[in-house]
Amino acid sequence: MPTDRQYRPPPTGNPVTDVALRQILDHVHDLRNNYGPTNLFAKGSGDPVTVPDGSAKPASGINVQVVLNRPGNWLLTAAVALTITGDNGQIFTLTLAMGSTVQSSHNAQTSSGANAIIMLHQTWQVTSKGGENVRLLIVKDGGAGTSSVNPLNSTLSALWQGPA
């Protein structure tokens, strides 16, 4: 059912024609919004997030998230700015969570033999029911360093691919 936008074209003097013209514009607007392509983009916010040790804590959110506003298939692409400090040889794992479900089938992993700044990239294809919050999580397998993610330089984009 179309959403009434309360738009009123100039009156024609015929109430039936006036309502029809308004409804036509509402339907065109709905078709464009519901069936055309759409994409979403989020840039992180806040202070750097320390990467937790996976043996002690669950993965930590890195303040980068989007809400999938339509049901259907989505292509999600992440770019995460990771600063490795004192965690040489540890494996860092980037995952995606849809609501409370972690998408563990596809992860991005990296490791470095020395302190480094790395851009970690990963792409996921997911099916959404619409209105789901999608966020990025990161964890390391061990180590006592102070590695962190800079959310201000991390992004998540979502491209709607069509109905499921």
Write out pLDDT tens, residues 21-43.
Answer: 777 776 666 655 566 668 899 99
In degrees, to the nearest 5, what angle opens at C-alpha 94 toward C-alphas 134 and 123? 65
For residue 48, the model assigns a pLDDT of 94
- DSSP E strand stretches across the chain: 39-43, 49-50, 60-68, 72-84, 92-98, 101-110, 116-128, 132-140, 148-162
Which residue shows structure tokens 């004192």? 86
Write out pLDDT tens, residues 65-118.
Answer: 999 988 889 999 999 999 999 999 999 999 999 988 888 778 999 999 999 999
Average pLDDT over residues 56-72: 87
Q: Calculate what percentage of the chain has a pLDDT beyond 70.
A: 87
CATH architecture of 39-162: Sandwich (2.60)
Domain borders along the chain are: 1-36, 39-162
